[in-house]
Amino acid sequence: MYVVIQVEINVLDNNDNQPQFGAVNASYSVTVREDVPPGTVLLTLSASDADVGANDEIQFSFAERTSRDLATRFEVRPDTGEIITIGSLDHEVQPLYRLYVVASDKPEVEEPLKMRSSSSVASTLSPTTNRK
Ligand SMILES: [Ca+2]
Ligand SMILES: [Ca+2]
């Protein structure tokens, strides 16, 4: 005689995949008039992440090598990847800007591991056989 119980192993997703842009070393060129109003969307970047649920959330930001003063003229929206103008542009002052954008995993929100007990796991043992 033997009893069989069922054990279910749930594999949780770790955030082990980095977001990827569609192409490696992708580069985009946008041409814009110097009189565009602040708030104009110049480009929407997209990236994908092979993880699941919260682990596939992507955050966009300017890379460190983007020069600081550009942050007064352009902004990248962390959630949507939109690059928008926030200040005025002046062709005579600067005709070309170069921005570098990183797509990164959102800062980790660790969920505690859950141990789920299921009532169907209970096994019944028959009373000890009388061996006399
Ligand atoms: Ca990820
Ligand atoms: Ca994963």
- Tally helices (H) and strands (E) across the chain: 0, 7
Q: How far is the CA of 52 from the centre of ligand 2 (A)?
A: 7
List the beta bridge partners of residue 74.
85
Q: Which ligand is nearest to the CA of 18?
A: 1
Q: Which ligand is nearest to the CA of 55?
A: 1
- pLDDT at 66 (0 to 100): 85
CB-CB contact of 15 with 108 (8 Å): yes
Domain locations along the chain? 20-109
- pLDDT at 126 (0 to 100): 55
Give the DSSP H or E segment for 82.
Answer: strand 82-85
- pLDDT at 5 (0 to 100): 75
Q: How far is the CA of 107 from the centre of ligand 1 (A)?
A: 10
CATH T-level assignment (fold) for domain 20-109 = Immunoglobulin-like (2.60.40)
Count CB-CB contacts under 10 A for residue 100. 14
Q: How far is the CA of 65 from the centre of ligand 1 (A)?
A: 23
- Our CA dihedral for 37, 44, 57, 100, rounded to 10 degrees, sits at -90
Digits of tens for pLDDT over the chain (132 positions)? 887 777 777 778 889 999 998 776 778 888 899 999 999 999 999 899 999 988 999 999 998 888 888 888 999 999 999 999 998 889 998 898 888 889 999 876 666 665 555 444 444 455 555 555
- pLDDT at 44 (0 to 100): 92
- pLDDT at 74 (0 to 100): 92
